Structure formats: C-alpha cells, structure tokens
Amino acid sequence: MTRFQASDRIRIGVIGCNGQGWSDLSAFLEYPQTECIALCDVDETVLNRRASNVEKIRGKKPANLYKDWRKLIDNKDIDLVIIGTPDHWHCLQMVAACEAGKDVYCEKPIGRTIEECNLMVKAAEKYKRVVQVGQWQRSDPHWQDAVNFINSGKLGKIRLVRVFSYQGWCPSIPVLPDEPVPAGVDYDMWLGPATKRPFNRNRFHFTFRWFWDYAGGLMTDWGVHLLDYALFGMNVTAPKSIMAMGGKYGYPDDACETPDSLQTIYEFNGFNVLWDHAIGIDDGAYGRNHGLGFVGENGTLVVDRGGWEVIPEKVNGKIRMEAVPLKKGTNQGLKNHVKNHLDCIASRNPNTNASIQIGAHIAKFSALGNIAYRTGKKLVWNGTKFTNDTEANNYLVPSYRDPWKLPKV
C-alpha cells in the first residue's frame, strides 16, 4: 500500500457536488491523505448543504465555495479536481483543469461527442495529468475475474455479446411547464455551452440525462459502464458498423427526449455486440435487470454488479462445458477506484484503472449508438468518421453557445 507523508496531502476541489460528484468526494474522504478545500455548484442550496456534509465528515467546512467553476480552477492550492457536472460540461472543465496543472477525477461519460473525447485525451497527455474516469467497475475485482475467464478460451467461439440495462426504478417524467429560475441558482452557468432555453425542472439536476442538449439517455448513462466490459472482454475498441432501433415505446407522451427503449447492434469481425435497454421495466436477460452475456459455443458467461457465472450450452442432450456457479462481487468498486487513483497520483502513473484513453473509447462507442438511432441509418465507421453518410458526421463535433468555445489543445 502506498504510504503518504503529511506533505503528500491531496487537496480536492469538486465541481458539481449534488449527486455523483458528492458520492465521489465521499469516497475520497475515506482516505486520510485527502482534504476537501473547495466546492463549486450553481445551486446555492446544494453548495451549502454539501459544505455542511463535509464538516460532519472532517470537522470543518471547505474554505472556498464557488458558483463559477473557473474560480475553482484558478485556485492554485487545489491538487485534484472532481468533475461531477452534467455531461455537456465535462470537456471544458476537464481540459481547463489539466491546463492548470491539476489531476482529475471525471465522471462518465467523459464527453458527449467524438471531438470532445479526442480533446480530453490530448489535454491529459499534453499536460501529463493523472486522470481517472468514473467507470468504477474497472476496479471491482469480479469484473476482471470474468474477463480472465473469457480470455481462457473455455467458452469457445464467442458470436455475440449481449449487453442490457432494464431500469424499472427509473420512472417516466411528466411534462411540466417552464417556470422562473429557483432562487440561488445560476441557470445561465448551468446551461453553459448548451442551447439557451427557459428553466424547466425536468432538465435540471438528475433528469438532465434524458435530454440531448446535456447527455445521451440510458445509452450513455449505464452504457459506458456495461459496454466498456463488452469491449474489454473481446479486446476491441471500434466497430465496423452500427445500427439502432428504438423509441419512446413505454412513455410516448412524457417529457424525455432520449428513447426509453433501444436496441443497437455493433458489428465487429466475427461477432456482434448487442445493446438493449428499457426504462420502467426490470425484465432483462438471464433473470437480471442489467449485465452482459458473452455467448460462446460452449457456454455463456453472465456478469453484472452482483457477480458472474457460466451457463453451459446443452445441445442434443450433451453439455459442452462445466457450469461455473455464481461468484459474488465485493461491492467495493468505487472505494477501490479511488485508491487506485490516489496511488497513481502518488507515483505519477497515468495508467489508472479507467484512464482517459479507456474513458474516451467507450464514451465514443456509446455516442456512435445514439448517432445511429438519431439518423435511423446503418452507419459505417472507420475509427474517425462515418464513411457512408455525411449527415451523420455532423454529430461528431458539438456546437457551443456563445461565449463558450470548444477548447483548443
């Protein structure tokens, strides 16, 4: 275990501390070498509540509270920036933090578009920063154990990786009227580079993820966690082609823009990856509401956050391999992920368990699925652009609202 001197304290600033940003900070504060010295949120109510939460954990409030994230970046005492803002902010904030010489823990997906992801990788590499992306399953041991079994070859030829997320807990959101901006909220800063729109609470806080201006729905919310292991298990990064079908089948009249039901097929050489999601129901594959099934000719390995097992193929009464009973996970993914980041910061090793390169290729992979859905076409991908559809390439680079500009790295 890495041992830290008093001078090795990691002084943390958090941008976006309402939901996952707070969960991330809480995990960091479990380690004695960390100290939270700054919080930033556009909502004063959230900002003050989280400052009090830090005080309860550590005995004192952070010395610096901001509503403008740029002031946090300018604070030279901060070593590590946690980015827990909505997806449309990640690129600007992460690049700025790297330019300022700070290490970064960035929530997933790292970017909404292909070009944002490319710029974030360039920034981390150019400024030699240690970046961890919030794909904490990369630090949960049973997921790695499952990949090791896949690599053993015992499953035989894998023809399909079935990836699914059925989220019954996730309710439909009703259409609500626009309303005045709540007191204490800097709404223009919340919008940032996104299109100017009247305030609507459906687009604010947690449910931002169901609107294209800010995120990519369940495909990029759960998809980056689960599809990441499809690529990791099969040792691939970019598909040959993508096609997608879905829509608002469960809740056609609610406020969401992103589909509540979606099936996406990614083509590789010799196998396909199938993404399947649904909101409002829990009946996914293999009796689970989320997970992956690596479908081999001898058996299928099924893995989710609870553990992994192997279900043998039985053909004409003959079992092709031995079953592997469920091997349960430890539920320590986030804690392990933070420790890995702190260890890498101490040693200046950029190869964290979920490095910026890993975060980028899966964020792009998920974005490709959404582009296929939004264009309604089968798209051929060469790793950089679509070669069979000019219109689809318009989705690769975002359009930012003035005065915000796409970073130059």
Show Cβ contacts of residue 1 under 8 Å, excluding neighbours closer than 6 positions: none
Q: Are residues 353 and 387 in the same domain?
A: no
Q: Are residues 102 and 168 in the same domain?
A: no
Give which of 322, 315, 323, 291 is closest to 305, Cα–Cα.
291
Residue 406 lies in a domain: no
User: What is the number of domains present in the chain?
Assistant: 2
pLDDT at res. 303: 98
Q: Are residues 294 and 340 in the same domain?
A: no
**DSSP per position, 264-306:** EEEE-SS-EEEEEEEES----GGG-SEEEEEEESSEEEEEETT
Output Rg (C-alpha) for the chain, integer angstroms: 21
Assess contact for 379 and 243: CB atoms under 8 A.
yes
Q: Are residues 86 and 180 in the same domain?
A: no
Residues of the chain with pLDDT under 50: 1-6
CA distance 324 to 229: 19
pLDDT at res. 8: 80
pLDDT at res. 3: 38
Q: Are residues 249 and 383 in the same domain?
A: yes
Q: Are residues 325 and 355 in the same domain?
A: no
CA distance 112 to 192: 14
Give which of 91, 274, 62 is closest to 165, Cα–Cα.
274
User: Which pLDDT tens digit goes with each residue over 377-396?
Assistant: 999 999 999 999 999 999 99
Model pTM score: 0.95
- Cβ count within 10 A of residue 360: 24
User: Which pLDDT tens digit goes with each residue over 147-157?
Assistant: 999 999 999 99
CATH number of the domain encompassing residue 246: 3.30.360.10
Domain containing residue 173: 148-329+368-395
Helices 356-375 and 114-126: angle between axes, nearest 10 degrees? 170
Please give the helix or strand (H or E) that residue 81 lies within, else none.
strand 80-83
CA distance 111 to 119: 9
Burial of 65 (0-12, 13-18, 19+ CB in 10 A): middle
Q: Are residues 107 and 121 in the same domain?
A: yes
pLDDT at res. 171: 78
CA distance 111 to 117: 5
* 103-130 residues labelled b (16+ CB within 10 A) or e (exposed): bbbbbbbbbbbbbbbbbbbbbbeebebb
Give which of 54, 82, 87, 39 is closest to 334, Cα–Cα.
82
CATH number of the domain encompassing residue 83: 3.40.50.720
